[in-house]
A and B are shown apart, each in its own frame.
Chain A
Amino acid sequence: MQSYVSIESLSKSFGLFTAVDDISIGIGKGEFFSLLGPSGCGKSTLLRMIAGFETPTSGVVRLDGEEVTDVPAHRRATNMMFQSYALFPHLSVGKNIAFGLQQDRLARSEIRQRVSEVAEKLQLTALLDRKPQQLSGGQRQRVALARALVKRPKVLLLDEPLGALDKNLRAETQHELVRLQRELGLTFIIVTHDQHEAMTVSSRIAIMRQGKVLQIGSPAEVYETPVSRYVAKFLGEANVFEGGTARRSGNELKIESAEAGGSVLATATDHISTSGRYWVSVRPERVELNKQGSGLEGVVEQFSYAGSGRHYRVRLKSGATLDALRVNLGAQDDLSVGDTVFASWMPQAARLLAD
């Protein structure tokens, strides 16, 4: 597949510090692509190189087949939505939105028409005469989005667009973003350090750490098949135990784990050998807790009620902790703190990790 946005061996150093380290990503047309990682991992720097605000130390950026590495920001067919929104305080909402079109020297009638079109789409029609400082946070966010969208960019870049919104508004806006992106058929690249947000909105996610990309894939791929312990723990919760000797029968592995204090089940994979160091990872919602039976023995140490589920922390006999999540189906809770439990899971619930 020909990539619409293509980042090839891109690096950026500030003095001796390498903020983006040899990253290559291909993004297809119409994708909603997320850059996800902890603070300081280089997400914004990467986005700013795509926008043209930072000059790469080495590497190439291609947009729709054309190399744009040295094209300055004002001549790139990308538009950016800033984390601070960066609305012009001296201009009204309408003039903020029209600003980009005026730079393109469009006819006045066309500018007016496109502004009112996008204002309607984002429910800003009533606010066009206000100044940015007379708006609520959510309204500012929509103005910033409108100002970028009205230019009909090839790629819309969003740097933590929802960071300043409260939780409910955030969830609503996420759905709104996805709807807009589908409707307009645009390519979105979004920076976030919120894994829920990345999972909710994206077609694909790149997980970054210290200037490098660790894994790229659909939300399901990165969640179900993380490539490393770091990715497994960064994206959602994961119980990770170091594995020891393994016995294979068919596709099933029975692994002795000193860390877990017993034997655990997993599915065999070709690319991870059980002779070197390796780890077994299992998501809390796949863990079953029973009062009797077989599995890893432990004691319920903590319980928290999270509405949609009940979260248990179990102290295993080996001393390690294990998290388990029971979906709230309305049934009476039969476990309480101090109970002895046995934890087990299906072999296909666990995944082997080499790192």
Chain B
Amino acid sequence: MPQPSLFNRLSIFAGLTFLYLPIVVLVVYSFNASRLVTVWGGFSAQWYTAAISNQSMVEGAKVSFLVAAISATFATALGSLAAIVAVRIRRFRGHHIFNGMLVAPMVMPEVVMGVSMLLMFVTLGIDRGPVTITLAHATFTMCFAAVVMQSRLAELDPSLEEAARDLGCPPFLAFIKVAVPNMAPAFVSAWLLSFTLSLDDLVLSSFTTGPGASTLPMKVYSQIKFGVTPEVNAISTIILGVVVFGLVTSRIVSRPSAKSNLAV
């Protein structure tokens, strides 16, 4: 591989700095001993202790994790079904529209989705709270889960299931016994992706929440209105850690390794 030129190295450096400097600042200042957010007063983990013992924040975290876990489970189930239709029943009438509609929510403005879901819940007379947040998150993360499942399903050798059928397995059982175990990494990956997307969502949650149900990002956001405290830095760093862990695990699990993928 040729060495990148000085110019290229500089531009990568500038780009990465632009992207990650704010995050670095956030993480560094979460360990600040000083009360003032922008003045360095020595190293300390006190804000983490404060965050963990802040009852309201812990409540928010509980709601967030519960919502994320349940909505990710729904999203993975629905996304897998959509992926099976898209990959296996390829040439049905309107499959182009179906495939387009499946990924459209990825680029749809969240505000629009939020408003429409709020309207729907109001019209149907559903009380807003953790349940509606979960439904909204499942809807919006489903398309991401579907894309992950779709790519794994597409690279799965179709003759595996044929071999199972040939050996006496009815088609549906062949899918369960052969395709599903070989898609297990994709399930994990889709679930983790949906989970992290749900965990850090603010807009949809704000639109679909009701009294007394606040997710962690909502709590952070409302606290920031009274000024940034080092405690917020600490909480944000924890969220960041969870999200990065989720994404990295998702990538590692879904990577087509020699182990999970028979080359021949």
- From B30-38, B107-115, B159-167, the one touching the partner chain is B159-167
Cβ-based interface call for A99 (8 A): yes
Indicate which residue in A72, A79, A82, A88 contacts B178 across the interface (CB closer than 8 Å).
A88
CB interface residues, B 217-264, toward A, < 8 Å? 258-264
- Interchain CB contact under 8 A, B167 and A79: yes
Q: With CB as the reference atom, state the residue of chain B lying closest to A159.
A: B159
Q: Which residues of B have CB within 8 Å of A88?
A: 160, 163-164, 178, 182
B168 to chain A, nearest CB (A): 3
- Interchain CB contact under 8 A, A82 and B169: no
- Interchain CB contact under 8 A, A73 and B165: yes
Q: Which residues of A have CB within 8 Å of B182?
A: 88-90
Question: A73 and B264 in contact (CB under 8 A), knowing A88-B160, A88-B178?
Answer: no
- Interchain CB contact under 8 A, B167 and A147: yes
- Interchain CB contact under 8 A, A74 and B163: no
Q: Which residues of A have CB within 8 Å of B167?
A: 74, 79, 99-100, 103, 147-148, 151
CB interface residues, B 154-179, toward A, < 8 Å? 157, 159-160, 162-171, 174, 178
Cβ-based interface call for B181 (8 A): yes
Q: How many of A's residues come within 8 Å of B, CB to CB?
A: 29
Q: How many of B's residues come within 8 Å of A, CB to CB?
A: 24
CB interface residues, B 165-215, toward A, < 8 Å? 165-171, 174, 178, 181-182
Cβ-based interface call for A335 (8 A): no
- Interchain CB contact under 8 A, B163 and A89: no
- Interchain CB contact under 8 A, B157 and A74: no
Q: Which residues of B have CB within 8 Å of A72?
A: 165, 170-171
- Interchain CB contact under 8 A, B260 and A82: no
- Interchain CB contact under 8 A, B168 and A100: yes
- Interchain CB contact under 8 A, A87 and B169: no
B254 to chain A, nearest CB (A): 16
- Interchain CB contact under 8 A, A90 and B181: yes
CB interface residues, A 98-143, toward B, < 8 Å? 99-100, 103-104, 132-133, 137, 140
Cβ-based interface call for A327 (8 A): no
B152 to chain A, nearest CB (A): 13
Q: Which residues of A have CB within 8 Å of B262?
A: 87, 89, 132-133
In the docked arrangement, what's the CA distance between A79 and B162, Å?
11
Mark A172-195 against chain B: 1 for CB-CB distance below 8 A, else 0: 000000000000000000000000
Question: A86 and B159 in contact (CB under 8 A), knowing A132-B262, A133-B258, A133-B259?
Answer: yes
- Interchain CB contact under 8 A, A73 and B181: no
The 3 lowest CB-CB distance pairs between A and B, nearest first, are A103-B168, A100-B167, A86-B163
Q: A51-B166, A53-B162, A80-B163 are in contact. List 13 more A-B contacts (CB 8 A).
A: A53-B166, A73-B165, A74-B170, A74-B171, A78-B166, A80-B162, A87-B262, A88-B160, A89-B182, A103-B167, A133-B263, A140-B264, A148-B166
Q: List 17 A-B contacts (CB under 8 A).
A: A53-B162, A74-B167, A80-B162, A80-B163, A84-B159, A86-B163, A87-B163, A87-B262, A89-B260, A90-B181, A90-B182, A100-B168, A103-B168, A132-B262, A133-B262, A140-B264, A151-B167
